[in-house]
């Protein structure tokens, strides 16, 4: 379990720490160049991963994919900040994040069905092909944008240092290292296996639960881009509400395991976690506004870094908690089935955080 979770964690660790590098790069070179470079690296890793034949290659090309992917988000943020006004930025961030979640939606039931039909290698090669086409389309569309301003005289990490020292950023960083990682761990690391092991759901039905979770997250994020306007551009109620939803979702899942609850209770916990992602646009916009105006990509890079460090730690913790119960797990022809106590411990950890 630790090794399988590690395939996710290596991607996330590379992605997380590269945010700091990419933030400086995007502010220096502009979003267009960094997006193109990162997109090509990401596509290369995506093609090589399903062609790998040993664990070392799997981990290496997973890291390469994470390296390329780390350039995408901040490049878009940097260009968006340059092209629109601050008040339009929040709403359009919701649209951008919704686009990201659309990829996550495709990674649930659609990918599960594709892998069942033609195998995971062929399915991932198809994903790699779509990735390369998307990068090419983005390159062509970016050429139609207004000319980018001239690059700066040199790289500087001074803005990064100012952002890290800013005490007003601390609440956002604490939220970032807990809220999204708890959601991500359920959505991408243990959520499907938990439904199969504990609730006895089929692979298809478990993937459908995750599809519902991802759709909820996508809709919440899209709506979250426009919710601040309805609240008089206040962000704090949204951020507190997100933390409350994560706690509630974790407690519902913990109670569901303890009480042997039916599947719809578990689905309710999943959807509560997913709804919390709607705070993303407000959180990122607040982080941008609390820090230097000439370091937009770097300010969001810091919160993104701590968020995905948290995700990687939760991915590792998920595998480690399951492995603590390896001695009492049931081995079947389809894999290893972990006991309910293993998942109860994991959801207790999430609620505690």
pTM of the model: 0.75
Query: What is the per-residue DSSP string for 305-317?
Result: HHHHHHHHHHHHH
Give the per-residue pLDDT at 352.
Answer: 93
Strand partners, 336: 331
Residues in the chain where the model's pLDDT stays below 50: 153
Nearest of 102, 80, 101, 100 to residue 91 by alpha carbon: 80
Distance, CA of 220 to CA of 233 (rounded, Å): 17
Q: Which two tokens stand for residue 109?
A: 């039931």
pLDDT in tens, 130-150: 999 999 999 898 888 877 665
Cα 28–Cα 32–Cα 36 angle in degrees, nearest 5: 115
Question: Between the CA of residue 134 and those of 38, 48, 105, 129, 130, what are the distances in Å?
Answer: 12, 17, 17, 9, 6
- Taking each helix axis from N to C end, the angle separating 263-275 and 170-184, rounded to the nearest 10 degrees, works out to 150
pLDDT in tens, 242-256: 999 999 999 999 999
The whole-angstrom distance between residue 3's C-alpha and the CA centroid of its chain comes to 20
């Amino acid at each position: 379990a630790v090794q399988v979770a590690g395939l996710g964690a290596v991607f996330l660790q590379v992605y997380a720490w590269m945010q700091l590098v990419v933030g400086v790069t995007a502010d220096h070179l502009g979003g267009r160049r960094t997006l193109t470079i990162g997109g090509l690296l990401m596509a290369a890793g995506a093609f090589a991963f399903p062609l790998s034949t040993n664990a070392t290659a799997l981990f290496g090309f997973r890291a390469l994919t994470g390296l390329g992917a780390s350039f995408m988000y901040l490049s878009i943020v940097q260009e968006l900040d340059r092209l629109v006004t601050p008040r339009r930025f929040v709403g359009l961030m919701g649209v951008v994040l919704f686009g990201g979640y659309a990829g996550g939606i495709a990674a649930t039931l659609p990918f599960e069905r594709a892998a069942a039909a033609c195998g995971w290698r062929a399915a991932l090669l198809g994903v790699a092909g779509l990735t390369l086409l998307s990068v090419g389309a983005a390159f062509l569309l970016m050429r139609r944008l207004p000319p980018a301003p001239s690059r700066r005289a040199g790289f500087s990490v001074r803005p990064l240092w100012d952002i890290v020292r800013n005490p007003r950023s601390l609440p956002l960083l604490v939220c970032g290292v807990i809220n999204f990682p708890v959601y991500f761990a359920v959505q991408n690391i243990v959520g499907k296996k938990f439904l199969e092991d504990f609730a006895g759901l089929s692979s298809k039905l478990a993937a459908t639960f995750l599809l519902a979770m991802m759709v909820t997250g996508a809709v919440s994020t899209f709506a979250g881009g426009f919710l601040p306007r309805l609240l008089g551009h206040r962000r704090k109620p949204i951020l507190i509400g997100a933390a409350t939803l994560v706690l509630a979702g974790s407690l519902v899942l913990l109670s569901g395991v303890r009480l042997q609850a039916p599947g719809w209770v578990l689905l309710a916990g999943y959807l509560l976690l997913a709804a919390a992602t709607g705070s993303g646009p407000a959180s990122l916009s607040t982080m941008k506004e609390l820090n230097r105006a000439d370091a937009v990509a770097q300010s969001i890079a810091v919160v993104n870094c701590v968020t995905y460090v948290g995700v990687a730690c939760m991915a590792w913790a998920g595998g480690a908690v399951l492995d603590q119960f390896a001695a009492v797990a049931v081995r079947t022809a389809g894999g290893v089935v972990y006991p309910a106590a293993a998942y109860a411990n994991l959801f207790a950890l999430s609620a505690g955080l």
